[in-house]
């Protein structure tokens, strides 16, 4: 009797479930049941709901039914209904069509678990993610049916309030953990050393003020490049004289793009570092997709603290008496990597700017050494950075080409006009760009069963008739290589671009040998990839003037993938 083969992977927010089953002409899909023990000890069990139904049931927007009635006609599923500390077991059961109706094939079911949902991996490394995906059915459900500009502005203003439930949901573990860490520094009389590109979230500013002079802050001018302008002026005015504040005003010299914080028990006793893609702004917390990593390792924290001091002290006087930065002490230190070990895993740390792209070359070597898979999220990687290294692995004309390499990634790029945003899906050698301006709410809402009109990114971009939330959608910067065999995670503030290497203050952290950390990042990347793959499909339907797929298939034709001939399913099931 054929049985379901199943695997599952977790981070602190989600569980990514993958399964396979031989072709069966009677199979209309799969029912997924979950046994859950929450972090608080509450036990729950039942079948997960599907939001796609059969046409005969005339589904309505936001309607959902148990997967015993509306089975999943797919082989992967990301469960967003779990949280930190939960323990889950999943059972996937074939649903067969018989004359009496739908019947569960219990003899063919497969189970996986128990799995502990947690951000933490061994050796005191934790990966945190927010839920800043505004282009989603969740957000559409929080707005009136025919939402207006005013509704969007009110939504934006809500997110600045510390007691707002939507803010709490969107900032997820990134926001809750960062606030927890700042509160602990304040209560335990520790020290904080932070180098920040943006600081505008009122709650974070208040937390820094509570720490007082034990908060040591190198604060840049943000994205403002015109001399004399200051994107962080409000925060600087609030904190001047309250914290140990040092301004790093680069303007046209480059970007002070770091977002790291070192936690120390005393000025000479650093013990942990927080870094990643998240700016300390409401946009970074709530309306962009971001990641943060907390590493509790004294040697790594010391390396970041030494860089903080170099940034603080990096100032020289030019020929006309002007302030200049990126002096030989700073750049010379950046040109050499810092390395260390955490148990069986190792870390390599790069700071920029570097003199000859040493940081980019080190990351490129990791990508070119990938044997089975590369997963990534990127924001503005440019035309001469690590995206091109990944693409070369997928090009038959390249010396690094590997036809068996599994690649999934999402790239977010601003259009030259500044008024639209493009998303590229990269998979199996194909770039699939689409412009979110085209997928307007009416374009995906009209005539699409169960699909409510969504907020699109153009609704939030800057302009005379738009709410002002910011540009990025996917602001995360992360690459994962060979997560199940020889795992490597690359993250930090670095956009994986030439300007990030040659012109900016950045940090690039490479962690090798930590499977659990790689798993946590892969779950986040795959959830993002699947989210935008569906929207890319809607875009293609819009362009081709055809109706998108809307309902479950009342027959076996949906069964196009089985592990015996699908290399991606074999990868996730960790089959040879």
Query: Could you tell me the CATH number of the domain that includes residue 469?
Result: 3.30.870.10
Whether 551 is covered by a domain: the verdict is: no
Are residue 91 and residue 164 in the same domain, yes or no? no
Whether 541 is covered by a domain: the verdict is: no
Cα–Cα dist 460/151, whole Å? 11
- Of residues 487, 548, 14, 503, the one with CA closest to residue 253: 503
Can you give the pLDDT at residue 428? Answer: 62
Whether 553 is covered by a domain: the verdict is: no
Positive/negative CA dihedral, 317, 320, 325, 330: negative
Are residue 413 and residue 424 in the same domain, yes or no? yes
Are residue 320 and residue 298 in the same domain, yes or no? yes
Residues spanned by the domain of 28: 5-118+564-572
Can you give the pLDDT at residue 506? Answer: 98
The DSSP result for 275-317, as a single string, is EES--BSHIIIIISB-EEEEE--HHHHHHHHHHHHHHHH--EE
Residues 6+ apart with CB under 8 A from 439: 456, 535, 538, 539, 542
Whether 529 is covered by a domain: the verdict is: yes
Query: Could you tell me the CATH number of the domain that includes residue 73?
Result: 2.60.40.10
Can you give the pLDDT at residue 198? Answer: 97
Confidence of residue 157 (pLDDT cuts 50, 70, 90): confident
Going from the C-alpha of 246 to that of each of 81, 172, 203, the distances in angstroms are 42, 30, 20
Are residue 254 and residue 318 in the same domain, yes or no? yes
Can you give the pLDDT at residue 455? Answer: 53
Whether 168 is covered by a domain: the verdict is: yes
pLDDT at 137 over 60: no
Mind listing the pLDDT tens digit for each residue in 225-271? 899 999 999 999 999 999 999 999 999 999 999 999 999 999 999 99
Rg, the chain, Cα only? 24
Are residue 108 and residue 229 in the same domain, yes or no? no
Residues 6+ apart with CB under 8 A from 418: 461, 462, 471
Cβ atoms 61, 451 nearer than 8 A: yes
Whether 547 is covered by a domain: the verdict is: no
DSSP letter, residue 457: G
pLDDT at 437 over 50: no
Cβ atoms 95, 73 nearer than 8 A: no
pLDDT at 204 over 50: yes
Are residue 110 and residue 165 in the same domain, yes or no? no
Cα–Cα dist 439/436, whole Å? 5
Residues 6+ apart with CB under 8 A from 309: none
Q: Could you give the number of structural domains in the chain? A: 2
Mind listing the pLDDT tens digit for each residue in 418-428? 445 567 777 76
Are residue 221 and residue 369 in the same domain, yes or no? yes
Can you give the pLDDT at residue 454? Answer: 54
Are residue 92 and residue 210 in the same domain, yes or no? no
Average pLDDT over residues 458-485: 68
Positive/negative CA dihedral, 293, 298, 300, 303: positive
Can you give the pLDDT at residue 319? Answer: 81
Mind listing the pLDDT tens digit for each residue in 45-57? 999 999 889 999 9
pLDDT at 134 over 60: no
DSSP letter, residue 487: -
Are residue 56 and residue 159 in the same domain, yes or no? no
pLDDT at 296 over 80: yes
Mind listing the pLDDT tens digit for each residue in 305-364? 999 999 999 998 878 878 899 999 999 999 999 999 998 999 999 999 999 999 999 999
Can you give the pLDDT at residue 31? Answer: 98
Can you give the pLDDT at residue 433? Answer: 52
Q: Helix, strand, or coil here: 386? A: helix
Average pLDDT over residues 558-573: 81
pLDDT above 70 as % of the chain: 85
Whether 499 is covered by a domain: the verdict is: yes
Are residue 502 and residue 528 in the same domain, yes or no? yes
Confidence of residue 443 (pLDDT cuts 50, 70, 90): very low
Average pLDDT over residues 360-381: 96
pTM reported for the whole predicted model: 0.91
Cβ atoms 312, 218 nearer than 8 A: yes
Whether 546 is covered by a domain: the verdict is: no
- CA 247 from chain center: how many Å? 29
Are residue 247 and residue 172 in the same domain, yes or no? yes
Average pLDDT over residues 165-183: 93
pLDDT at 84 over 80: yes
Are residue 361 and residue 440 in the same domain, yes or no? yes
Cβ atoms 135, 538 nearer than 8 A: no
């Amino acid at each position: 009797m054929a049985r379901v083969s199943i695997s599952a992977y977790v981070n602190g927010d989600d569980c990514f479930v993958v399964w396979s089953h031989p072709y069966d002409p009677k199979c209309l899909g799969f029912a997924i049941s979950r046994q859950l023990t929450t972090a608080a000890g509450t036990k729950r069990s039942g079948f997960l709901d599907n939001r796609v139904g059969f046409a005969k049931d005339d589904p309505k927007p936001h309607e959902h039914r148990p997967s015993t009635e509306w089975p999943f006609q797919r082989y992967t599923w990301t469960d967003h209904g779990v949280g930190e500390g939960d323990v889950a077991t999943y059972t996937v059961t074939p649903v067969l069509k018989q004359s009496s109706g739908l019947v569960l094939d219990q003899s063919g079911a497969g189970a996986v678990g128990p799995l502990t949902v947690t951000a933490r991996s061994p050796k005191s490394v934790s990966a945190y993610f927010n839920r800043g995906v505004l282009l989603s059915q969740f957000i559409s459900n929080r707005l009136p049916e025919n939402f207006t500009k005013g509704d969007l502005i009110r939504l934006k203003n809500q997110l600045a309030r510390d007691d707002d439930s939507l803010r709490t949901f969107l900032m997820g573990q990134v926001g809750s953990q960062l606030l927890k860490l700042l509160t602990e520094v304040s209560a335990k009389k520790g020290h904080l050393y932070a180098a920040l590109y943006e600081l505008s979230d009122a709650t974070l500013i208040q937390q820094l003020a509570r720490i007082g002079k034990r908060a040591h802050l190198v604060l840049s001018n943000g994205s403002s490049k015109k001399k004399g302008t200051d994107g962080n002026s409000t925060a600087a005015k609030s904190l001047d004289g309250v914290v140990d504040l040092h301004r790093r005003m680069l303007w046209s010299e480059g970007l002070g793009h770091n977002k790291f914080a070192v936690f120390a028990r005393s000025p000479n006793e650093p013990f942990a570092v927080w870094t990643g893609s998240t700016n300390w702004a409401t946009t970074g917390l709530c309306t962009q997709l971001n990641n943060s990593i907390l590493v509790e390792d004294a040697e790594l924290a010391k390396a970041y603290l030494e860089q903080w001091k170099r940034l603080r002290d990096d100032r020289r006087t030019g020929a006309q008496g002007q302030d200049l930065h990126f002096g030989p002490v700073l750049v010379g230190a950046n040109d050499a990597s810092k390395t260390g070990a955490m148990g069986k895993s190792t870390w390599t740390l790069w700071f920029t700017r570097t003199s000859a792209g040493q940081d980019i070359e080190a990351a490129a070597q990791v990508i070119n050494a990938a044997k089975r898979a590369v997963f990534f999220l990127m924001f503005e990687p440019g035309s001469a950075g690590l995206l091109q290294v990944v693409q070369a692995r997928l090009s038959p004309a390249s010396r690094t080409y590997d036809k068996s390499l599994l690649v999934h990634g999402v790239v977010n790029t601003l259009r030259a006009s500044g008024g639209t945003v493009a998303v590229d899906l990269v998979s199996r050698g194909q770039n699939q760009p689409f412009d979110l301006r085209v997928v307007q709410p009416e374009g995906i809402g009209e005539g699409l069963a169960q699909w409510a009109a969504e907020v699109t990114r153009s609704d939030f971009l800057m302009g005379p008739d738009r709410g002002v939330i910011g540009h990025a959608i996917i602001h995360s910067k992360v690459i994962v290589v060979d997560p199940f065999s020889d795992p490597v995670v690359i993250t930090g503030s670095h956009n994986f671009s030439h300007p990030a290497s040659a012109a900016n203050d950045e940090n690039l952290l490479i962690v090798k040998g930590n499977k659990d950390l790689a798993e946590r990042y892969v779950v986040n990347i795959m959830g993002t990839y699947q989210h935008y793959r569906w929207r890319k499909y809607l875009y293609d339907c819009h362009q081709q003037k055809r109706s998108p797929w809307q309902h479950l298939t009342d027959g076996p034709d949906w069964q196009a993938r089985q592990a015996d001939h699908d290399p991606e399913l074999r990868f996730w099931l960790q089959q040879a």
